[in-house]
Amino acid sequence: MPQWLKNAVFYEIYPQSFYDSNGDGIGDIQGIIQKLDYVKALGCNAIWLNPVYDSPFMDAGYDVRNYKKVAPRYGTNDDLIELFSVAHSKGIKILLDLVPGHTSDTCQWFIDSKKHKKNEYSNRYIWTDSVWEAPPKYRLMCGISERDGNYLVNYFSSQPALNYGFANVTHPAWQLPTDHPDCQKTVEAIKDIMRFWLDKGCDGFRVDMADSLVKNDDDKRPTAKIWRGIREMLDKDYPEAALVSEWCNPERAINDGGFHCDFYLDHRGNGYSTMFRYTNYETGKDESYYCKDGNGDITVFTEEYTRSLEKTKGNGYISFITGNHDVPRMTKTLDNRAIRLAYATILTMPGVPFVYYGDEIGMRYIENLPSKEGGFSRTGSRTPMQWNSGKNLGFSTADSDKLYLPVDSSEDAPTVENQTGKEGSIFETVKAVIKLRRENEDLGNDGGFEVVYAEKGEYPFIYKRGSFVIAVNPKGEQTEAVFEFSGEKAFEIGDTEIKDGKITLGAQSMVILKV
């Protein structure tokens, strides 16, 4: 286990939207370098950087054309190496985004794979044996190659799936088993990419779609086996390199796959979803536990989470997120107070937390934007970072029509400038809770976790982290519970009172008690 993960708090940066240093309307690596002191002052000591590789940007860089080259719009390889160096000088680690499941259809690997004549890359991707072979079970692109066959894609038509084999071979004429030498070469190609950037100073990888490598892989064990082999490589050659999975199955990802961290993602109906992001499709209302009108059920979370936490204890971390580039920001449905409670909860949970850029100031999810680079409904969560009241809210000096995406045009758009020092702001809440977390081991990544009060359909939610007890009432009315603890209030939102063996929590309130 990399030792630095034990006190890591991550900040996710969507590079094209963070800070434009050269006035061309799009964020870049030099812009990130200029804002490292901001990240550090917030309390984060690690960054997850969304893809900066060369790409045609049909999927915002998740369609990689060249894994070993930085996209010119962000800068150069030397700029990225400089980012590693400057970040390290400030005590900040950098994770790159690894995209192992597919490439762009403009990647040289795929160009060679499309050729009629058999070559080194013929089986780097998954091809049927004939253009007339197109089983409806698979997402296939048909009839657009000199090679006789159709190829599998992941999601978009421009993303041909890399070939790691099939767990269950149903079409032996063109499906390879996972131990086939050509499938093993794909694994080695990914290892080579990882070594390339680790040798240049990167501190590890967040892995996109980590569970999607092997096809016909219902229980994901063959995919986990691949990652376990990669973890063994890291342990041997790069023991301080971190591996974080987009999987949301910690038992499989951490225990079987060897990931150091696994994201707790917004999968509809799971614990994270029902806490913060559960919308009733019929009524359109937010019924999550943290919505003041939600009437949610905290036990969906506590039962799921405590089970996963116990089964992965000592093997890796479950990572809570404030949000990310794939989901609407919480501001879409939750008010300011609810978001403060939500983020304060996320930042007082065990594991390695991740803050999505702009969440710390309460940036809004911008509705009804045209899709940008394959963003579709996600585009509204990818708008430029809002720094100050200046031109383009401080993101860029470019004319507004040259911006990657428009900035929030609201008169009350939150910015770092207008949130700093403002009592009750999301920014000051996030900053204070991260500081408290970093200063107290019991609230940190390895600290214990115990549910004190969590009843079906009831409020409040109370949990214990070593010498701290956290009580939170997201409901829009006062509530109370039996409470056997006393001590000093280390942090508080709203009105809370501890008296005569019970705790009273005002509407949308929270207390962190040092007992």
Residues 95 and 107 in one domain: no
- Domain tally, the chain: 3
* pLDDT for residue 295: 83
CA 108/CA 56 separation, integer angstroms: 13
Whether residues 322 and 409 share a domain: the answer is yes
* CB 75 within 8 Å of CB 28: yes
- Tell me the pLDDT of the chain (515 aa) as tens digits: 999 999 999 999 999 999 999 999 999 999 999 999 999 999 999 999 999 999 999 999 999 999 999 999 999 999 999 999 999 999 999 999 999 999 999 999 999 999 999 999 999 999 999 999 999 999 999 999 999 999 999 989 999 999 999 999 999 999 999 999 999 999 999 999 999 999 999 999 999 999 999 999 999 999 999 999 999 999 999 999 999 999 999 999 999 999 999 999 999 999 999 999 999 888 888 899 999 997 899 999 999 999 999 999 999 999 999 999 999 999 999 999 999 999 999 999 999 999 999 999 999 999 999 999 999 999 999 999 999 999 999 999 999 999 999 999 999 999 999 999 999 999 999 999 999 999 999 999 999 999 999 999 999 999 999 999 999 999 999 999 999 999 999 999 999 999 999 999 999 999 999 99
Query: Is residue 509 within 8 Å of 480, Cβ to Cβ?
Result: no
Instruction: Tell me, yes or no, whether 177 lies in a domain.
Output: no
User: Are 508 and 404 part of one and the same domain?
Assistant: no
The CA distance from 46 to 96, in Å, is: 11
> Which residues on neighbouring strands pair with residue 46, listed in sequence order?
10, 93
The span from the CA of 166 to the CA of 39, in Å, is 42
- The residue among 39, 122, 24, 116 whose CA lies nearest residue 71 is 24
* Residue 482 structural domain: 449-514
| Domain CATH for 120 | 3.90.400.10
- Please state the three-class secondary structure of 334-390 as a single string: CCHHHHHHHHHHHCCCCCCCEEECCHHHCCCCCCCCCCCCCCHHHHHHCCCCCCCCC
Whether residue 43 is found in the same domain as residue 191:
yes
Distance CA 292, CA 296 (A): 9
User: How far is residue 498's CA from residue 81's CA, in Å, rounded to a whole number?
Assistant: 52
pLDDT at 285: 87
Residues near 393 by beta carbon (within 8 Å), at least 6 away in sequence? 384, 385, 386, 387, 407, 408, 413, 415
Last residue of a domain, one of 135, 163, 191: 163
In a domain, 432, yes or no: yes
pLDDT score, position 283: 86
In the block, tokens 């701290």 appear at 468
The DSSP secondary structure of 388-453, one letter per residue, reads SSSGGGGS-SS-GGGSSSPPP--TT---HHHHTT-TT-HHHHHHHHHHHHHH-GGGSTT---EEEE
Distance in angstroms (rounded) separating the CA atoms of residues 325 and 388: 22
Whether 213 is covered by a domain: the verdict is yes
Residue 458 counted as domain residue: yes
**The pLDDT of residue 177:** 98
Q: Is residue 206 part of a domain?
A: yes
Structure tokens given for 291? 């919505």
Q: For the domain that residue 462 is a member of, what is the CATH number?
A: 2.60.40.1180
Instruction: For residues 280 and 351, state if they share a domain.
Output: yes
Rounded distance, CA 66 to CA 55, Å?
7
Can you give the pLDDT at residue 222? Answer: 98
Q: Which residues contact 488 (CB under 8 A, 6 or more apart)?
A: 513, 514
How many angstroms separate the Cα of 155 from the Cα of each of 58, 138, 247?
A: 12, 11, 16
Same domain, 330 and 206: yes
Token digits of residue 467: 């010498």
Cβ count within 10 A of residue 281: 7
Tell me how far apart the alpha carbons of residues 52 and 73 are, in angstroms, rounded to a whole number: 9
Nearest CA to 52 among 39, 43, 61, 44? 61
Is residue 506 in some structural domain? yes
204-207 and 93-98 strand pairing: parallel
| CA end-to-end distance (rounded Å), the chain | 31
Q: How far apart, in whole angstroms, are the C-alpha atoms of residue 515 and residue 495?
A: 18
CA-to-CA distance for 39 and 31, rounded, in angstroms? Answer: 12
* 148 and 197 fall within a common domain: no
Whole-number pLDDT of residue 294: 76
**CATH number for the domain harbouring residue 289:** 3.20.20.80
Q: What is the model's pTM? A: 0.98
In this structure, what is the dihedral angle of CA atoms 44, 391, 378, 140, given to the nearest 10 degrees?
Answer: -110
pLDDT at 324: 98
In-domain check, residue 172: no
Query: Same structural domain for residues 110 and 251?
Result: no
Which phi and psi (to 5°) does residue 204 adopt?
140, -165
The verdict on 282 and 367 lying in the same domain is yes
Contact 89, 103 (CB under 8 A): no
**Shared-domain flag, residues 128 and 266:** no
Identify whether residues 476 and 362 lie together within a single domain.
Answer: no
Asked whether residue 491 is domain-assigned, the answer is yes
8 Å CB contact between 453 and 502: no
Rounded to whole angstroms, the Cα distance separating 189 from 162 reads: 11
Cβ–Cβ under 8 Å, residues 158 and 152: no
Q: Copy the structure tokens of residue 81.
A: 């190496």
321 and 397 share one domain: yes
Which residue type, as a one-letter code, is found at position 115? Answer: K
For residue 384, which of 399, 374, 394 has the smallest C-alpha distance?
A: 394
